[in-house]
Structure 1
Amino acid sequence: MATLSSRKLRPEPLLKNIKKPGRKPSFRKPSHKRGPDRFSLRHLTKAILEGNSEEASRALSRLKGNAEILTEIAKYAKYRHTRIAAVALLQDDLQSLIELAKYSPKRDTREKAVRMLTRHKGALVIVACSSHYSDTRLRAVFKLKSKYHLLSRVAISSDFKDARSASVGFLLKKPEQLVRVASESPHPNTRKEALRALGKSVHALRRVADSSQYPDTRRGALKVLSNMVEELEDPEVLLEVAKRSPFAECRYLAVSNLASDNNALLEIYESSQFKDARSTAMMLLSDSTGKLKDTELLSAVARFSPYEEDRYQAIERLEGNGKTLASVAASSKYKDARLAAVGLLVSDLDFLREVSTVSKYRDSRAVAHNRLGEDEVFEGELTRMLDEHPIKRR
C-alpha cells in the first residue's frame, strides 16, 4: 500500500498541463503529425499542380481578384479542371478573358473564355478580329450571328480571312451590311465575297457601283449589273449601266431601254465616259425633237444633234427664248445651228451683245457684231442710251 510520501514523489501526469498563472497551455502537435496548412503558399501551389479538383478549387478561390495569377494558371496549368476554374474566377475581368481567348494555347481555356464573353459583344468582335486561333475566331463570329452591324465590322476589320468569310456568310440576307463591306473592306477577296452574296440585289449593287472607294469593286458591281441588263427595269439602274458599264453591248442595251426617257438620255449624253453611249443617247433624243417641249432638251438637240434637220427644228421651236438661243449661238459645235440661232436674235440686242462677247466661235461673234453695228440699230441704241442718261449742259 502506497504511503503519502510516495505519492508526493510521483505526481500525476495530468498535472503537467494545468494552467499556471501568466502562462498559456500549449497543445501543438509535432510537425510530423500536423495536417496541411491550407493558408500557406506551399499548399496553394501543391493543390494547383496536383490533380485533386476539390483541393484546386478551394485553393483558387483564395486567388479571386488576382487576375494576373489566375490568367497565368488558366493558360498553363496542367489539368483542365484547374484551368476552367481559373477562367471562371475571371468573370468580371473582360481584359483578362479577351487575352485568354486571343492567346491561350489551351483550346478548352479559350472556349470557356469565349462563353464567358457571350454578353459582351464588343469583346467578341475583338476576339473575332485578332485571336491567334481559327476555332476561337469562328466561335466568336458564331456568337455574333444576330448582330449584323458587328458582323460587318468583323468582315471589314479582321486580319484573318476565315473570320471575314464567316461574317459575310451570316450577312447573306442583309444587303445594307453587305454594301458596307463591299464599299469599305480593304481586303479584295472579302469585297468579292460581299458582291457575290448580294446576288441580284439591283439597288444594293448600284450603291456599291456608286459608293465603293475601290475601283475594282465598282467595276465588279457594274459587271454584275451589266450581265443582268436584259432583266433590269429600274430606270436609275439602267442609267448607271448606260453611263458606266465597261461592256459596249450592255451600254447599248441600257441606252435603248431608256429610249422613251428623254431626261435620262440627256444625262447619258452629258455625263457618260463612253463616246458610243453619248452618241446613241443623242441620236435617240434627236428622234423625239418634234415632241419635245422642255427648253433644256431642245437646247441640247440644237447644239449637239448630228442631224441638221433636227437641229433646225429645235431652233425653230426655241424662237422667242432669247437666252437659250444665245446659248446655242455661243456654244453649238455646228456652224449652221449657231448662225440660225443668231438669225432669230435680230431684235434681241442684249442677247446679241452677249453672243458677240462670249461666243467661242468667230462666225457667230461676227454676225452678232455686224448686226449691232448696222446704222439703224446703232442709231436707235445710241438714242435710247442718251435718253436714259441725259448729258448736263455746261
Structure 2
Amino acid sequence: MSQQSPPALRVGMAGYAFMGAAHSHAWRTAHRFFDLPLTPELTAIAGRNRAGVEQAAQRMGWGSVETDWRALIERDDIDLIDICTPGNTHAEIAIAALEAGKHVLCEKPLANSVAEAEAMTAVAEEAAKKGVFAMCGYSYRRTPALALMKRMVDDGRLGTIRHVRAQYLQDWLTDDNAPLTWRLDKSTSGSGALGDIGAHIIDAAQYVTGLNITGVSALLETFTKERPVDGELVGLGGHGDVTADTPRGPVTVDDAALFTARFDGGAIGMFEATRTALGRKNANRLEVNGTLGSVAFDFEDMNFLQFYDGTDAEDARGFHRIMVTEPVHPYVGNWWPTGHGLGYEHGFTHQVVDLVTALGNKTQPTPSFREALGVQKVLAAVEDSATNNSQWTTIKGNNP
C-alpha cells in the first residue's frame, strides 16, 4: 500500500540570482532528506527580465514564470512568497504578501531601514494571529557547527558569557576596478558590508548567546569611492578591460564596518565586517568566551568547532577540535555517514526544513520578523554611531 504524500506547500519566489539559486536548491531538496509535514512545490518564479527568468525557471526547476512579483501574490495556487530581491523591495513585497494571506520567507537583512522593518513586523504579527507566518532568512543559524555552538551555550557549558568576537571577512571588492553593482548603491542595498555580511554576525552572536546588543560604538569606511559602471563589465562580472575612459560612478555604501558592543547581561563584544580583506573568501567567524569555557567557529572550516572546557583537569586543558558530522549533531543525521561533511547549500536546506516544519505545526518559525527587526536596530545604531564620530549609541527596545 502506497503512503499518502503530505499536502503541498506551493512556493512563489521573487528574484532568481545568487540567493534565488540557493533557495531553489533548498526547496527542491529538503523533503527528499527530511520528513516534512508539507511537500514544497516550486510553483512559480518572478523576475523583470522574461528571458532571464524563463532560463532560470528551466534551470532551477520552477513550474511557471511571472515578470511582476505582484502576479505571484494574486495567484490562488501559491501559498508562500520567498523574497530573494534587493533590500529596497522587501517591505513592499512582504507586506502585500502577508496581507493577501501568503506565508513569507524574506532574505536578510529584513529591510533597508528600521521604519520599514517595524512596518513589516507589525503586519507579520497581525497575520500570525490568522495563521499566516513570516520568517527572515538568516541561513547561517542552520550550519550544524553553529547550531551545536548554541546548544552548548544553552546547556550551560560555557557558564556566564563575558566576551563575543565576531568577524565576517571577504575579498571580492578588494580590486578598485570591480564593477559598480546594486550592492554598492545605498538606495537599493541599504548599506554595504555592514548590512550584507555584518547582519549575519550580529544575528549569529545574538542567537548563539541568547543575549541582545544594547549599545555600540562604530566606524565605517569606504576605501574605493568610485567604480566602473560600464554595462557590459557589470553584466559579465569582470573588470579586466577597464580603461581610463571607462565611466565610473559613486559608491554610496561602506566597504568595512567595525564596532564594539555591549549585551544585556553584561557581556561585551567586538564586530568586524568587510568585503576587502584580501585572501579571506568567506571567513564568517564567531568566538564566545564564558566563565566555564570558550567555543569558536569559522565558516571556512564549517564542519568543525573549537571548544575549550575550563572544567577539564588542569593537565588536560586546551582547545579541542570537534568534527560536527555525527548523527547526534544538529541536522546531520539526515545526511551522509559520519565524516562526510556538509557545505554552504545545506544551511538553506535546513532553513526550509525548519520553516516547513513550523508551518505544518502552525507555529511561528524563527527567526521571526521581530527578531530580524532587532538586527535592523543594531545596523541602524552602527550607522548612527559612525556618523557621529563613534559616539556611544544606545539601542532601545532590542528585545525580540
> Which protein has greater RCO, CA pairs closer than 8 Å, 6+ apart?
2
- TM bucket normalised to smaller: under 0.3
Larger radius of gyration: 1
TM-score, scaled relative to structure 1? 0.21
TM-score, scaled relative to structure 2? 0.20
